[in-house]
Structure 1
Amino acid sequence: MILQRPCGIDFGTSNSTAALPDNGGGARLAPLEGDNTVLPSALFFSFEDSELRVGRAAVGAYVEGMEGRLMRALKSVLGSRTMDERTTIRARRWTFSEIIQVFVTQVRRRAEAAAGHALDAAVFGRPVHFVDGDPVADRRAEDELRAIARAAGFASVEFQFEPIAAALDYERRVAREELAVIVDLGGGTSDFAIVRVSPERSGRADRREDILASTGVHIGGTDFDRLLSLASVMPELGHGTRSRDPRRDLPNWAFFELATWHRINFLYTPQIPTKLKELRQDAAEPERIERLAAIIAERQGHALASAVEAAKIALSERADHRLRFRAGAAELDVLMEKDGLEATIAGAVGDVERALETCLAQAGVGAGEISSVFLTGGSASIPFVRNRLTGLFPEAQVIQGDAFGSVGTGLALDAARRFGIG
């Protein structure tokens, strides 16, 4: 029997990691970009030197104004109709499967460099639901990612729910049996699991009886970005304003595309300038549409989305934040307040909270029986979100895990159990 050489891959909406199991039953995150173990899930196809840039280098090239195409939040398109669409990059029509494959291949190669040997098997993390309320689309999303992983060079591909992987990472630090709630708040999804963990249980190959429930909802940090953008920034560009016909508002298509990370590139197609010209002619306040058109003409949509994301992060720590942004003739100066952010995302956070309550109900346990709440994922750093969810378990100990590394580490532990170490 030939032992396979496995790894764990956490392909995330905003960031990705790869982890390598070791012979001692542990795992370590692989450096994927210099000494950094966390790689932003971003690609930049340069039009100037035809080079591909990945991660921070991709974002940096875009911010510096290099001519090219930035691709982010690619995980969000899995299982959606967008996967069937094509986008033009350097005169080539790419499918989104091909673009995601480029990124996953880069992760594999960088992890192999860290491991010092080839990696031919992987456990990929997956949200509890790629697509909410549509089992067919959810299955299609997993099949799409499996095909992409195999095309990227992995001969064997398995999947594990991301909150279960985080539970495996958490279990390494427990001294006694606990009934833990795992809260994984990522860029694209929020996922939960209720799991019995203990030093004794950690050695079992089959953990199915220890997993009492797992649920999730397709809401995450990029959704908070979109909601904040639509509420605070897009009105400056015409969102919610009237057309020349006072009985109706302007169409919303351009604003929703610009506020949604994985849809921004669809505003850079040849027909968009004509559509924006028509939108301007229809607008009661055409100067706002001129700002919108300038941002799109300068291909600064991702830069604006990054500024909104930075504002969201700043408002997690401060009472207000002033967003200043300029692209060509467009200049924005928007004062945002923490209370406004919380009011804007309250509905989405309520949906996340209900998904966690559903997990508790499916497990058939009361909130008072939970001994620990383990937090991971970048959105767990938003106090409003964190407090709403941990408030459901007032008697439990709250443990902050590695925001970006817990899932990847747990996937590597799972990979060692499934494939062995060769």
Structure 2
Amino acid sequence: MTQYPRACGIDFGTSNSTVGWLGPDAGVLVALEDGRRTLPSAVFFNADEDSVSFGRAAMGEYLEGYEGRLMRALKSLLGTGLMDGHTEVNGRALGFRDLLARFIGELKDRAECASGRTFDHAVFGRPVHFVDDDVVADRKAQDTLEAIARQVGFRELSFQFEPIGAALHYERSLSREELVLIADIGGGTADFSIVRLSPERARAAERREDLLGNAGIHIGGTDFDRALSLECVMPVLGYRSRMRSGAEMPASVYFQLAAWHTINFAYTRQVWADLQQIYRDAIARTELDRLCRLINLREGHWLALQVEQAKIALSASAHTRVDLERLEPGLALALSRAAFTAATQGLVERVGACVAGLLSAAGVDRARIDTIYFTGGASGVPQLRARIAAELPAARSVEGDLYGSIGAGLAVEAARRYG
């Protein structure tokens, strides 16, 4: 009887999550929702039906207008002070650790159901840095994720850098040796690895000598959403408008609304009271009316979705249109890729500097890199991809499975580590 691996690989992502397993079928990634291999990292607590839904179903219930609380970008909580705190969900206190445990437990249950077996061993992917320039906070983030994984039933688990997971997946397609820069740019982080890959090297149990360097920075797709939102969308809600006193409109509420994991903080009584006070001295009353309507109707997640869709559209086209009808009849916003590029220039340069720093620290001549392997949903942003490629003009660019490479590679690693 064929012995299939007893362990799975889990890519718990900021935007989407996957589970990989080298089972009897050709596909490595497990179907997690309606036959799809990804499960959006979202949870919706439905107050109307007193139920909890996950992934696309969570997003769907929220958009259908059910009363409740939507939570996205859950991974962004790791390494922050919020992780040990609580939030209110439908009148009850919910710890953020418990929130992550619910989602990861659901991920495990769905993978087991689809595979017809129990997984108590796993290799989890992790970014090169959960937290930039803070070794203690970074270690605490991994320890927290490990504790949560054990809480939901994993007895044995270990971690692998996410770009290495992508490298192991790409390696299975090679017929000759390559020196590869793995560019993994997901929802929350941009991670890079320089790796020697080949069919022969893939057979080795120890690959330490093939890894020439790792680097990462806490910039990902949600940061591009945030920059696009603040620079191009929030001004129609009064961002950077002036008060009668000459001061600029306080910005804290706009920053809260521009990031998935802080949107709900904009709905507190204190924020509403502050807005009423600010309104009396505001010049841009029309814009402030839109902001008040958005907060009163709790449409922050809806707006974030419009911005995210605009980012995706501008990654493929030169222009797009954002429908803001919910805030004001007939309101729409025309956006261009040029504006998107300008809004994200600082982020792009920081990512480019990270790649340049990695090449310098690894002592690798740029001309030696054969391939840039792009994975992660945010690696499809044109200006970002072009900036990375500019560091390695002689290398060819290969686009992997943007949402599945890491989970598939972690499945390979899980089978190697646990048998």
Could you state the TM-score of these two structures normalised by the residue count of structure 1?
A: 0.95
Conserved in 2, the CA contact under 8 Å of 1:250 and 1:282?
A: no
Q: Residues 110-259 of structure 1 correspond to what in structure 2 (within 5 A)?
A: 110-246=110-246, 248-259=247-258
Matches of 1:190 and 1:331, distance apart in 2: 38
Segments of structure 2 that go 5 or more residues without pairing to the other structure are none
Q: More deviation in 50-59 or 384-393? A: 384-393
Aligned to 1:266: 265
C-alpha RMSD of matched pairs (Å): 1.6
Aligned to 2:400: 401
Aligned to 1:78: 78
Matches of 1:128 and 1:149, distance apart in 2: 19
Matches of 2:410 and 2:99, distance apart in 1: 23
Matches of 1:234 and 1:66, distance apart in 2: 25
Conserved in 1, the CA contact under 8 Å of 2:5 and 2:21?
A: no
Aligned to 1:306: 305
Conserved in 1, the CA contact under 8 Å of 2:10 and 2:122?
A: yes
Matches of 1:386 and 1:211, distance apart in 2: 22
The CA deviation at 1:171 is 0.6
The CA deviation at 1:400 is 0.9
Q: Residues 408-419 of structure 1 correspond to what in structure 2 (within 5 A)?
A: 408-419=407-418
Conserved in 2, the CA contact under 8 Å of 1:319 and 1:339?
A: yes
Q: Residues 294-333 of structure 1 correspond to what in structure 2 (within 5 A)?
A: 294-327=293-326, 332-333=331-332
Conserved in 2, the CA contact under 8 Å of 1:295 and 1:330?
A: no
Aligned to 1:380: 379
Amino acid at match of 1:362: A
Q: More deviation in 106-115 or 329-338? A: 329-338
Aligned to 1:7: 8
Runs of 4+ in 1 over 4 A off after TM superposition: 328-331
Aligned to 2:21: 20
Matches of 1:228 and 1:331, distance apart in 2: 21
SS in 2 for 1:327: coil
Amino acid at match of 1:295: L
Conserved in 2, the CA contact under 8 Å of 1:27 and 1:412?
A: no
Matches of 1:280 and 1:15, distance apart in 2: 38
Aligned to 1:35: 35
Conserved in 1, the CA contact under 8 Å of 2:5 and 2:415?
A: no
The CA deviation at 1:284 is 2.2
Aligned to 1:287: 286
Identical positions, percent? 48
The CA deviation at 1:12 is 0.5
The CA deviation at 1:141 is 0.8
Matches of 1:278 and 1:397, distance apart in 2: 56
Aligned to 1:69: 69
The CA deviation at 1:286 is 2.7
Matches of 2:274 and 2:204, distance apart in 1: 59
The CA deviation at 1:152 is 1.4
Cα distance per residue 1:355-380 (max 9 Å; x no partner): 11111112211110001111101112
Q: Residues 326-405 of structure 1 correspond to what in structure 2 (within 5 A)?
A: 326-327=325-326, 332-405=331-404
Q: More deviation in 115-124 or 262-271? A: 262-271
SS in 2 for 1:391: helix
Matches of 2:75 and 2:369, distance apart in 1: 32
Matches of 1:279 and 1:293, distance apart in 2: 11
SS in 1 for 2:213: strand
CA 1:110–1:386 in structure 2 vs 1: closer, same or farther (change >3 Å)?
same
SS in 2 for 1:282: coil
The CA deviation at 1:27 is 6.7
The CA deviation at 1:318 is 2.0
Amino acid at match of 2:86: R
CA 1:51–1:392 in structure 2 vs 1: closer, same or farther (change >3 Å)?
same
Cα distance per residue 1:254-306 (max 9 Å; x no partner): 00000111110112233332122122223222332221111111111111011
Cα distance per residue 1:299-336 (max 9 Å; x no partner): 11111011011111111222222211133557642211
Matches of 2:90 and 2:343, distance apart in 1: 38
Cα distance per residue 1:16-48 (max 9 Å; x no partner): 100112479x87100000110011110100001
CA 1:291–1:37 in structure 2 vs 1: closer, same or farther (change >3 Å)?
same
